[in-house]
Amino acid sequence: MDGNGLKNVLRDEGSSTLKSLHPGFYKDVEKYLKELEEEIFKIDNPRSVESKMLDNELQSAITDIEVIFIRRIRKIISYATNNAFSSMPPSQDMSKLLPEEKKVYDAVLTAINSARAELLVPILDPQAAESKSKKEASESSKVDTSTITEEIGDTNDVDRPEHMDADIPSGTSNKDEIGKSNINKEFVVVRILEDLPTFKAMDNRNYTLHAEDVVVLPALNVKGLIKRNVAQMIL
């Protein structure tokens, strides 16, 4: 790379189309500029004619590479803008973009599509925007069922404390509803803060709870719910 080669690229980039550059173009320009700086440093006389000529060449090269970069970036942004609003495949030769320039193209295209979805789609297609909003809200409110089961426990996997069996009224089995007469020891009144998937509690009952429900649950299950911030103890 030298001054003439840089001028040729600058001239080519003056057109409206993007020109091909070899992958090491910017590295070659960087090497060329460093060589000029080293030559100027060796002369060690900024007032000499040779030093001034080299400095002029250096400044001209710096200006050229900056203009080349700006012109290419403008074309890349234009490509991304045009393609964002076209249903046809890109008409431009995308192979002419350097890998780093392709990242710029993708970022601009993504940003345009994101802005269009947030600003334009609600106006042009309100139903699609509303459906998308409801879907996102539904997904954000979902609770991982497997994690809930792990936190609140399942009677198939968790051993019952011996003192719980002592509180079960005579004449009932483990699979029957446990009497609530000893509610302060084994059961807790809680308010549910969000919808929960169906789960089996320590009293062998299946619960399907919704936000703002006030229910009586086994204390061991309540600990897991409170730990997940999906329930609030009342009693």
Domains of the chain and any CATH numbers: 3-124 (1.20.58.1030), 145-233 (3.40.5.50)
pLDDT computed for residue 132 by the predictor: 63
Amino acid identity of residue 209, one-letter, is L
The C-alpha atoms of residue 208 and residue 96 are separated, in whole angstroms, by: 58
Q: What is the pLDDT of residues 53-85, one digit of tens each?
A: 999 999 999 999 999 999 999 999 999 998 888
Cα distances (Å, whole numbers) of residue 63 to 66, 70, 77, 136, 175: 5, 11, 21, 49, 83
pLDDT tier at 169 (50, 70, 90 boundaries)? Answer: very low
Q: Is 50 exceeded by the pLDDT of residue 200?
A: yes
Candidates 34, 40, 29, 24; CA nearest to 2 is 29
pLDDT computed for residue 191 by the predictor: 86
pLDDT computed for residue 149 by the predictor: 52
- CB-based contacts of 189: which residues, under 8 Å, 6+ apart? 183, 214, 215, 216, 233, 234, 235
DSSP notation for 67-129: HHHHHHHHHHHHHHHHHHT-SSPP-S-GGGS-HHHHHHHHHHHHHHHHHIIIIIHHHH-HHHH
- CB-based contacts of 41: which residues, under 8 Å, 6+ apart? none
Candidates 159, 202, 164; CA nearest to 182 is 164
Residue 97 burial (CB < 10 Å; 0-12/13-18/19+)? buried
pLDDT computed for residue 182 by the predictor: 43
Q: Is 50 exceeded by the pLDDT of residue 166?
A: no
The C-alpha atoms of residue 12 and residue 120 are separated, in whole angstroms, by: 37
With residue 181 as reference, give the H or E element that holds it. none
Mean pLDDT of the 12-35 span: 94
Q: What is the pLDDT of residues 216-233, one digit of tens each?
A: 888 888 888 888 888 888
Contact 26, 72 (CB under 8 A): no
